[in-house]
Amino acid sequence: MGKKRIVTQNTDELIKEREEVETAVRKVVAQNSPPKVGAVLGVAHILATWNNTLISLSNERGDVLAHSSAGAVGFKGTKKSTPFAASRVAEALAEKAKRVGVNRISVVVRGIGAGRESAIRSLASHGLDITSIRDLTPLPHNGPRPPKPRRV
């Protein structure tokens, strides 16, 4: 394998290399980050299940700008499905929305969990203007498949 060569750099070379890496990272972040001025209208997708409440904020095209859930806020177990947890999730998402630059939202609600209404109320009370609320909870149109006949 041969001898190992150890390359030593002085501090000037290290600083220069670090600045090159940081400028490259800034360019990539600037290209991938959503525009702060144009994203004033967003769509809040609320999924309220029996076990959790998930809220994601997207722009009109559907690109996700921010998201939060009851588990991410710090609730565990059965406490994740409470209306209080849903309001805390909405509160955290409202803060993220303000950082991104969104101040008007339309709300899309899915699911039959306990946190549906409290999440919407919390979004409204934390300074976001709600333009519309749509309920897109899936409904069974023909019910589940019937059981097979019993064989004796």
CATH placement of domain 41-135 = 3.30.420.80
Query: Is the full-model pTM beyond 0.85?
Result: no
Q: How far apart are CA 112 and CA 106, in angstroms?
A: 19
3-class DSSP assignment, residue 9: coil
For the stretch 111-121, pLDDT in tens is 998 999 999 99
Domain ranges of the chain: 41-135
For the stretch 15-74, pLDDT in tens is 888 888 888 877 776 666 655 554 478 999 999 999 999 999 999 888 999 999 999 999
Q: Rounded to an integer, what is the distance from CA 93 to the centroid of its chain?
A: 7
Query: Are the C-beta atoms of 105 and 129 separated by less than 8 Å?
Result: yes
